[in-house]
Amino acid sequence: MSTKKDKFSTKDKLYMEIALKLAISRYGHTGSNPSVGCVIVKNDEIISIGQTSINGRPHAEFNAIKNSIDNLNGSKMYVTLEPCCHYGVTPPCTNLIVKSKISEVIYSVPDVDVRVKNKSFKILKSKKIKVRKGLLEKKVKNFYSTYFFNRKKKLPYVTGKIAVSKNNLIYSKLDKKITNARADKFTHLLRFKNDSLMISYKTLNNDNPKLNCRLNGLNKYSPKRIILDNKLNSNINSFIIKSANKSNTIIFYNEAGNSKILSFRKKGINLINSKIDNKGRFDFKILLKKLYKLNCRNLLVEGGDKLTNYLLRNKTFNRFYLYESSKKLSKKTEYLYFNNLNLLNQKYKKRVNLNLNLGKNKITLYTN
C-alpha cells in the first residue's frame, strides 16, 4: 500500500506541478465538479495532458486518455485528485484507466466525495495498477480548499470585496471611480474565477454595473449575476436587466406586485422568491442553499456597506479582499463611508497584503 513515506522524484514533482497548473487554469468553470489536471508520461516523456472540461464533463482523466495518440500500455498517470470510480452522467474514470493499461497512477489527494474517497485506490490496486498518493499534498489541498468546503457544507464558497478611497468612502455621486486600472484587472480576474457574482438592487441602481469579466479573451467566462431585490425595485432599463436571461441572471425577491413580476419575467430573468427576516433582510442560509442547488460553487459578493456589514457580522465570507486607493472622493453631494474596517479585523485572523504591483493602490486579503 502507498503511504506518505513514498519517495517522489524531482520529475514526479514536475509532472504534478503541470497537472496542478492545468487544474488551476479551469478553476471556477467546471460546474459542480472539481477542476482536475492530468498528465500522462511514458519513457520519461509527456505524451498527453487533460483537464476537466468547461462545465465539468468530460473529466480530466478521460480527456488525457482520449488526447493521446500513443499506446498507453506501461505509462504513468499524474492526476491532482483521486480519479472517480462511480457511475454518474459519465462512466467511472477508473474503468478507462484500467482499459488503457496504464501501469501506475499517482494522485495528490483523496476526493472528499463519499462515492470516491479511497475507493478508487483499492479498485486500481485490485487491477494490478501501482497507485501512489500524497505528491504535492499540501499545495494541492490548498487549491481544493474551496471544493472541499462545497462538498462538506453543501454551500457555495463566498468571497467578498470592496474598494475604499483614501478618505474612507465607498461611493461618491460626483466621483464614482475609486481604484486604478491595475486594481480593476484584479477584479476582473476574480470575476473570471467565480461562477456567480452578487450585488444588491441599490448597487445596480446607483452604479448601473456590467458585472462582466473584461480581460482579453475571457469575456465569455463572465459570472452569473445574482441580484438581491426584495420588492423588485431594480431599474428595468439598467444594463443588467436589459442583458438578462434565465441562464445568466437570478433575482431573489420576497414581495412584489404581479405586474412587476411579469415585467421582469418578460426579460427572461430567473426570479426566485425567498424568505426575509423581520428587518427585511434575506435569510442567507436559505439563499446560499438555493444557490448551491443551482450549481453555484464560487460566489463573489460586490456589495455596499450594509450588505458587507451584514455578511461580515454573520461570518458568511470565507475570504475578503479590501481594496485601498490613494485617491480621495468628493463629499460635495451624496457619498457613503466604509464603516467595517474594525469588523474585518475582528472576524478574520489572517491579513495578507497582496504584492500585485498596483501602483498607489493596494489589496489586502482577509482569511482564517
Residues marked as catalytic: 61
Q: How far is it, in rounded angstroms, from Cα 323 to Cα 278?
A: 32
Amino acid at residue number 317:
F
DSSP assignments along 191-219, one per residue? HHH-SEEEEEHHHHHHH-------STTTG
Among 183, 186, 264, CA closest to 231: 264
CB 113 within 8 A of CB 151: yes
Amino acid at residue number 222:
S
DSSP assignments along 234-286, one per residue? S-TTSHHHHT--TTTEEEEES---HHHHHHHHHTT-EEEE--B-TTS-B-HHH
Instruction: List, in order, residues 6 or more apart from 91 with CB less than 8 Å away.
Output: none
Radius of gyration of the chain (CA): 23
